[in-house]
Structure 1
Amino acid sequence: MKSHRYQLVLTTCPDAAAAERIAHALVSERLAACVNILPIAKSIYLWKGKVESAAEQLLVIKSMARAYRAIQKRILELHPYELPEVIAVPVADGYPGYLAWIRDPDKT
């Protein structure tokens, strides 16, 4: 496997509607093979000089690394936050069959 060919992209959303809107767009536009929505994430963060907290939904986006810029662009277009989290984590290794599916989900 070529190093860092695959990635997980993480973003958080304020509610189920935003999370599903982004997930459906990324998968239907073939930018991601799969998006997991984890419905309960308690975030505590600094924002404009104050400690804030929020209940959020975490999206775990599985895709090819080459799709990062397009994924980032779509998230920024669809996301309700002023400054959304968009972080890519390279996948160092994985089950070859699953990685093949990420590479070409239409072949399954």
Structure 2
Amino acid sequence: MQVNSNGFAVILITTSQDEESQLIARVLLEQKIAACVNIIPQINSLFWWKQSIDQEKESMLIVKTRVKLIDEVVRLIKEVHSYEVPEIIALPIIGGNCDYLEWIDHEVIPEEAE
């Protein structure tokens, strides 16, 4: 494993339905601000919402991108997401397979175009 010094991130997003997950994934990929989006269907989420504990079946998206693109990812997701307050959490990638990290870098829009 190599330490990442290129500024990559994983972004976690939940949605209420698979169609919305597919839409968000395609928008991010078509805009070239994500190299890969994994969709995990049917996760069980429990959370506080409007003073009560709610439970829902959701899908989770795992987005791989460059740290510098996080703001653009958040902006685009908020435009198309159905939730009033969508879960969008970015985590730095601190290391990993150098070949994979280089692939992420190659697949998203070039840094000079950001």
Taking structure 2 as the reference length, the TM-score comes to 0.89
Deviations 1:52-73 (A, max 9, x none): 0000000000000000000000
Distance 1:9 1:51 in 2: 25
User: 2:18 maps to which residue?
Assistant: 16
Listed as ranges, the gaps of 5+ residues in structure 2 are 109-114
User: 1:99 maps to which residue?
Assistant: 101
Distance 1:43 1:2 in 2: 33
Paired residue for 2:35, among 33, 40, 47? 33
Distance 1:72 1:105 in 2: 19
Q: Alignment identity in percent? A: 31
Deviations 1:41-98 (A, max 9, x none): 1000000100000000000000000000000000000100000001000000010100
Answering whether residue 59 of structure 2 is matched by residue 60 of structure 1, we say no
RMSD of the TM alignment (CA)? 1.1
User: 2:73 maps to which residue?
Assistant: 71
* Count of residues in correspondence between the two structures: 105
Distance 2:38 2:96 in 1: 17
SS at match of 1:12: strand
Listed as ranges, the gaps of 5+ residues in structure 1 are none
Q: Which amino acid aligns with 1:43?
A: S
Distance 2:40 2:80 in 1: 18
Deviations 1:2-59 (A, max 9, x none): 16x0000011000011000000000111000000000021000000100000000000
